[in-house]
Amino acid sequence: MICPIDFRYGREEIKKIFSEESRLSYWLKVEIALAKAHAFYGNIPKEAADEISSKAKHVKLERVKEIEKVIRHDVMAMVIALAEKCKYGKYVHLGATSYDIVDTANALQIIDALDIIKKQIKELIKNFSILAEKYKDTVMIGRTHGQHALPITFGLKMAVYLAEMHRHLVRLERIKEEIGVGKMSGAVGTGASFGKKFFDIQNFVMKELGLKAETPSTQIVGRDRYIELISFLANVSASLEKIATEIRNLQRNEIAEVEEYFEEKQVGSSTMPHKRNPITCEQICGIARIIRSNLLPAWENAIQWHERDLCNSSAERFIIPHTLILTDWILYKMNYVMKNLRVYPENMLKNIEMTKGLIFAEAIMIKLVEKGMDRQEAHKLLRKCANEAREKNLHLKEILKEKEEIMKLLKDEELEEMFDAKNYIGKAIELVDITLNTIKEHEK
């Protein structure tokens, strides 16, 4: 087997952020900001900072790797590769520890990745908005416990997903604030290596990079922040798996209310020519489980020996880029599904009739209470009628018409109206409109 993230899953736009070349570029940005800070506060000559800044772009990944093979330290290999390019190389990395560079660069990388994910969430909100508006009065059966419950509209179902994705969009902005911190405080977080100008230097570096300073820190930024990040991505993945699972269920042959788009030349099975499998939604479900599994090492990485050990490093090299890349991927795939979703209102209406009127038992019970019947008595009576309809395989309406205690309270036309699903969707259409208006107001 080979790692599928290398060729099968993940978009190049976000994978590029976590390439070796990009990681080196982010590290060098931090080194440049540090040199500028030292020069601004008179610790090194201005020409030294200028040279470090200009020569950083000439540092080659191949050279860094050559050095790392010998010294077995990735950040120091970058420092040496940059220093050997500069006349003022002795000022490179002055006062910093490795994770001043790594964690600060991590923040820059993660924020850039979150901005890509944000675009995907906003696109999904747009797609759900279109479906909610288009189908807000398209009646279908609502299901609880896998059983027919009461009528809803397909637009309302989409509005529920729309509202959930909007909450994720709001959370994303908070997560960016949470993760947008770096440090330039030395080996144990005291700033001793930067002397009296420590706070000034750290604040200068963070302002230069558009970050806030982790104050106080140990040798690393607090890993509770990464737990928040991975938890957010796991939350998004759970929403996407929930939606994908619903589409898979609604695509079952015996339900057939929606369907993933199936391309003309697409093959569903190597042996069964008729198959049209919901493979994109199934892929979303599978990858969502990988995303959520990364929560465990994220939590465990927060547990450090004293001011820091190295156990988090190897795990984070996997879970941070992989979780961000895969979350972006399943958002992208869900956008494809929802943009091309096939919806079958005629099957929705057909399925409403499947239970032969049993789904209207609550509506009739409520009507009988309005007419003066005790609520508990009405519930007991309708339950008895529903059971009788099942046993005799008759429509509930036929059973009710034989019950004197019911028909003395209801007119024939009233009974007929209550078996029209459109008359028992409550405020579904209004709820869709409220949701759509809420989203529009937030976008202003």
With H, G, I as helix, E, B as strand and everything else as coil, classify residue 342. strand
Report the distance separating Cα 396 and Cα 416, nearest Å.
Answer: 11
Point out the catalytic residue in the list 145, 270, 274, 306: 145
Q: Which regions of 358-416 does DSSP assign to beta strands (E)?
A: none
Point out the catalytic residue in the list 19, 54, 269, 314: 269
Whether residue 270 lies in the annotated active site = no
Q: Which regions of 174-329 does DSSP assign to beta strands (E)?
A: 181-182, 212-213, 258-259
Report the distance separating Cα 315 and Cα 394, nearest Å.
Answer: 61
**Which neighbouring-strand residues pair with 259?**
342
**Which neighbouring-strand residues pair with 343?**
258
Structure tokens at 287: 């990858």
Structure tokens at 155: 């637009």
Q: Give the β-pairing of 258-259 and 342-343.
A: antiparallel
Report the distance separating Cα 183 and Cα 106, nearest Å.
Answer: 11
Residue among 74, 168, 71, 176 nearest 123 (CA): 168
DSSP tag of 409: T
CB 223 within 8 A of CB 304: yes
Whether residue 269 lies in the annotated active site = yes
CB 133 within 8 A of CB 436: yes
Report the distance separating Cα 81 and Cα 71, nearest Å.
Answer: 12
Return the percent helix, strand and coil in the chain, to nearest 5: 70, 5, 25
- DSSP characters over 302-349: T--STT--SHHHHHHHHHHHHHHHHHHHHHHHHHHHHHT-EE-HHHHH
CB 105 within 8 A of CB 26: yes
What are the residue numbers of the active site?
145, 269
